[in-house]
Structures are given as structure tokens and as C-alpha cells.
Amino acid sequence: MDDGARRRRPVVADVMSPPVTAQPDDSMAEVSVRMDKEGASCVVVVHHDAPLGILTERDIVRFVSSGADPAATASKRWMTEDPDTVAPTSEIGEVIARLAEHGYRHVPVVDDGRVVGVVSMADLMHIAQVQPMHHPGELEAPKGLAGVIVADTEIGDVRGQEGFYHYRQHDARELAERRSLEDVWFLLFFGSLPDPAERDSFAHLVRPLRTLPDAVRPLLPAIVDAGETFVPLEALRSAVSVTATALGFRPCLDISDEQLRDDAVRLCALLPTLIGALFRLRQGLEPLEPDPELSHAANYLWMVTGSVPDPDHARAIEQYLISTVDHGFNVSTFTARVITSTGADLGASVVGAIGALSGPLHGGAPSRALDMLEAIGEPEQAEAWIRDAVAGGGRIMGFGHRVYKTEDPRSALLRGLAERLGGDRAAFAVEVERTIVEVLAELKPGRELYANVEFYAGVVMERCGLPPEMFTPTFAASRVIGWCANILEQAADNRIIRPSARYVGPPPPEPVPWPPE
């Protein structure tokens, strides 16, 4: 079935029955016998196939109670003359409305002046029930929900055409340049940047929360060794799930906003520790204890690499983390909000969000972007490599964005960081970026494809000592703050998120074969 046919609303031809007809001079006895034989509940009286009248079961009952002789009475005397008719192409909804208005139960279907069928209210109601109904007010959303506003938020926004995004009322790039990750975390959770006293008390609150719960510690080795290959985000997903259980997270529907925020602070503080512990266990190393003297970002680097980081690297990673804390209604954030809308616990929402982030079209691109730079090898090979990849139907990882149709401000920030940190890789990436943008503009005109956050993310993280498999988990270490801010906002003013879909499969109800073959 093509798309057009699938979307077509049902019409009378889809449900009408073949007509049972009579001639005007046929007797009522003949008509009754024919109706009974055919199992019909009406007969259309015709002249040369044109409808003259209709006789229904109701007319037969009225006739019998009159006491007249059936064999001697012509059908034309008891039929309803000039019946209302419908065309085979009439839409079901319109016909139902017409029958309901006039109180008819049956109506002849006429095409080009000839009776071609009969349709009853029962037939119509049957299909009306099983066909997708179009309810007043139901809206058609574009594929991928592009451009659809589904909530009000005070957390932040992305202005794709302007290449600008903000957290609460502040430019996110400016926050990355001027503030610590803890300040931005506070901003997202409490609505404003902290004053010095708030900064101190927030640091005192979160630093002890970085420590792994005792009940979780012994479970991590089994998670790490569960698969032949170690996929850190998959391991993280499982670790967050058991952590939520160990910490006794309860459905957000059953707890206060303050309790939910406590859960959120706890999980955000703990996520870098979980990531570091899983990674080190897989290397055959003991997880490291968090260092309360270090900032959130520096402590993260310490727990993964095992070295107290160079301050430039710690600051670069902190700026990367700030720049990726939140980004509008991206897929993982939306996922977290959908799960929260069911009243589930915060752990369930974060596990779902990690699952969404793991997809290469969302958060799984930075190591692929670095692989691409490896594969290109030399700047002069870039053009041919990109042309080949696009000709083969491939996507250039780290380029394109659903919302940005101009330069992604995060990629501009990260390019600056990469250049500041220096190294051959950064210089190469800058050169290749230029070529990719030019080639994509030629091969995909009008699509406005530019480097996204993931293109330079890998370059920056690699320079700061993070291995490629830790790129997306590092993204999760910051984005969990954004997810949690959204979870808190969703829970505070909740309505279950439950859209609709249009059924486009074969029309039901198809009888279930019995007995089974």
C-alpha cells in the first residue's frame, strides 16, 4: 500500500454490501423471501438499476401488522420513495452524520445513476471504530518532532538560527568562560548563580556525596565484566540503576520536590565517580577515592586517569563540561522528562537518558569524529575522503545539527579550547573542519551543515588525557546535571507525556486464523 492510500480516510466503497434489489411490481411476499435468503436488512427498489425506493425490515414489520395480503401487494406501495443516496467515494464520517441527522439505518450507494451497493449504520460504525479517528484538536507533528514545542521551561534554550544558547538567563558560552561547573550546576538547580556563601555551602554539600555507596562498590566488577567488550555507557546505565536502588530512590510521584532534588544532587555528585570506577576496574585497576580538595572537573580527571591533572587540562575539561550541561529539549533530556512524567524515580529517568545519549546520532559521535580524523590522515586527503563518504550515503560525524543551522557555539568554544591546548591534532582538525564545511555545502546545498559540539570534543578530551571510550561518558558526567534540572522541572509541574500515533497497517479486524496452522 502506498503512503497516499494508507493515509486516505475510509470511504463508503470500503464497507458497502452488494445491493439486494426488487422491481416496483414485485410482491411484498417475493421481497420478504429475497431478503430472508440474502440475509439482507433492506431491499432497493429499482427501475433500470436506478433507485426508486427502499424497503427495510422496519417497513416489512409495518406491512405485516397492516394485515394486507403479501402476495397481492406490490413493493412500490410500501417502499420509501426517492431515498437519500450516497456515492461510493463519500467519506464515512460525512455519511454517518447524514444518517444520524435523518434517522436512516440504511442508504443505497449510487454511482453514475446506478445502484451499486447498500451501506448500513452498523457497517459504518464498525469501520468508524476500527479506523483511526481524527479527533478535533488533534495535531499532526512533523517526523522527528522537529520544531514542535512540547513544554514550557525556565532552564534554558537554544536559538539555532543565531548560534546562541543559554542556561537560565545567562549566555552558556559566557558561563563556560567565567564560571566553575559547580556554579553552573547551582544555577540550573536553584535558578540563580550562587553568592559566595551559597558557593561554599554547595561545595560542602556535594563533595562528600561523591563517595560510592557501600552497597554499590562490590557490584561494579560484575557490571564491568558482564560483556565481552566493555561499552562504558552500557556499564554506566547498569551502575546508575543499581545505585538508585541502593540509595533507595522512590517514585518522584511519592516524594516532595526537596527530596527529589536531594536525589538529583546525590546522583550528579556520584556520576563521575561511577564512570571513573567502571573504567579503572576494566583496566584491572582499583577505583580511586574522590579527592575532596579538587573541583568537580579536576576530580573527574583524577578518578579516570589516576593523576592529579594539569590545571590547564582541568580547566579545559571543566569548560567542556559546562558547555554541555544542557541543550534545550535534546533527545536524552526529552527521554528523561518522558520517564519522569510517569512518576518514576530519578534513577529510571537518568538510566533512560543515558540510553538515548548512547546513540551515535546523539552523544556517540566524538570518538567517531576522532576516528574520522585518523582515517583522513593528511589534510590533502580530506576532500576526497569526505566526497567518498557522502557518496556512499554516510554521515560525517561531528557535523550537522537539528537546531543549529549556523555554527554551533559549543564547537566554536571547543575549537578555541583545542587551539589553546595546542598540538598537531588541533591544527589538523581546524584545517579539516574548513574542508568538510566547504564540501558539505557543495554536496548538500541548503542543509547548513557545520561542525557540532562533538567534532572538537574528542580533540579536547584526548589532549587532556581521556581515552576515546571515555568521551561519551564524560559528556554524560555533565549532561546529568541538565537531565536532573529537567527532571525537577517536569516533576514540579507534571502531566504525563503521552502523544498519539496514526495506525497505518492493514485494516483491522482481520479474523485470527483458527485453528492455528
Q: Which is nearer to ligand ACO, 56 or 335 (CB)?
A: 335
Catalytic one among 182, 318, 433, 454?
A: 454
Is there a contact between 287 and 258 (Cβ–Cβ < 8 Å)?
Answer: no
Q: In this structure, are strands 21-22 and 42-47 parallel, antiparallel, or unpaired? A: parallel
Cell numbers placing 128: 468508524
Query: Closest approach of Cβ 167 to ligand ACO, in Å?
Result: 16
Query: Closest approach of Cβ 353 to ligand ACO, in Å?
Result: 12
Q: In this structure, are strands 156-159 and 106-111 parallel, antiparallel, or unpaired? A: unpaired
Q: Which is nearer to ligand ACO, 28 or 397 (CB)?
A: 397
Q: Which residue is nearest to ligand ACO (CB)?
A: 400
Q: Which is nearer to ligand ACO, 302 or 399 (CB)?
A: 399
Query: Closest approach of Cβ 410 to ligand ACO, in Å?
Result: 8
Specify the DSSP element, H or E, that contains 56. strand 50-56
Query: Closest approach of Cβ 401 to ligand ACO, in Å?
Result: 5
Query: Closest approach of Cβ 436 to ligand ACO, in Å?
Result: 8
Give catalytic status of residue 106 as yes or no. Answer: no
Residues lying near ligand ACO in the complex (CB under 6 A) are found at 144, 361-363, 365, 390, 395-402, 440, 444, 447, 449, 452-454
- Backbone CA torsion sign across 160, 161, 166, 169: negative
DSSP tag of 42: E
* Nearest residue to 350 via CA among 487, 193, 215: 487
- What is the crossing angle of helices 471-492 and 331-341, to 10°? 40
* Nearest residue to 275 via CA among 471, 456, 485: 471
Q: Which is nearer to ligand ACO, 52 or 414 (CB)?
A: 414
Catalytic one among 182, 318, 401, 489?
A: 401
Number of C-beta neighbours around residue 382 at 10 A: 22
**Which residues 6+ apart lie within 8 Å of 34 measured at CB?**
20, 22, 40, 43
- Residue 370 CA to residue 387 CA, distance in Å, equals 18
Angle at 434 between CA 428 and CA 437, to 5 degrees: 130
Query: Closest approach of Cβ 269 to ligand ACO, in Å?
Result: 23
Q: Which is nearer to ligand ACO, 452 or 486 (CB)?
A: 452
Q: In this structure, are strands 80-81 and 50-56 parallel, antiparallel, or unpaired? A: antiparallel
Give catalytic status of residue 134 as yes or no. Answer: no
Q: Which is nearer to ligand ACO, 63 or 404 (CB)?
A: 404
Asked if residue 292 has a cis previous peptide bond (ω within 30° of 0), the answer is: no
Catalytically active residues are: 401, 454
